[in-house]
């Protein structure tokens, strides 16, 4: 609730457009909370799983996990924005 009230107040004051806030929040969420853990997960557990260790396969798994995590995070942020909280 505090975040929504703050964004509404600052957007009405003309500090930024709500779309700019949404893009910034989604980028931060995608990079720090989704892509970084997926990359670390891949780097640590990929060799332990005994999978093919060439760079293309490792990068593909990291990209798939990061993209999936970012998509789920974006959907969660959008759903939270649609729900009216008391």
Q: Which of these ranges, 4-8, 42-46, 72-76, has the smallest mean pLDDT?
A: 4-8
pLDDT tens column, 3-38: 778 888 888 998 888 888 888 888 888 888 888 888
Percent of the chain having pLDDT more than 90? 9
Whether the CB-CB separation of 32 and 26 falls below 8 Å is answered with no
Provide CB contacts within 8 A for 68, sequence distance 6+.
Answer: 38
State both tokens at 61: 């798994």
Total domain count, the chain: 1
Quote the domain boundaries for residue 41: 2-82
Mean pLDDT, the chain, as a whole number? 86
């Amino acid at each position: 609730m505090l975040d929504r009230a703050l964004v509404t107040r600052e957007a009405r004051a003309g500090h930024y457009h709500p779309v700019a806030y949404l893009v910034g929040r989604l980028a931060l969420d995608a990079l720090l909370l989704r892509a970084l853990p997926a990359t670390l997960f891949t780097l640590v557990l990929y060799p332990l799983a005994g999978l093919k260790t060439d760079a293309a396969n490792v990068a593909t798994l990291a990209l798939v996990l990061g993209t999936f995590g970012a998509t789920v995070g974006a959907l969660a942020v959008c759903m939270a924005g649609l729900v009216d909280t008391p």
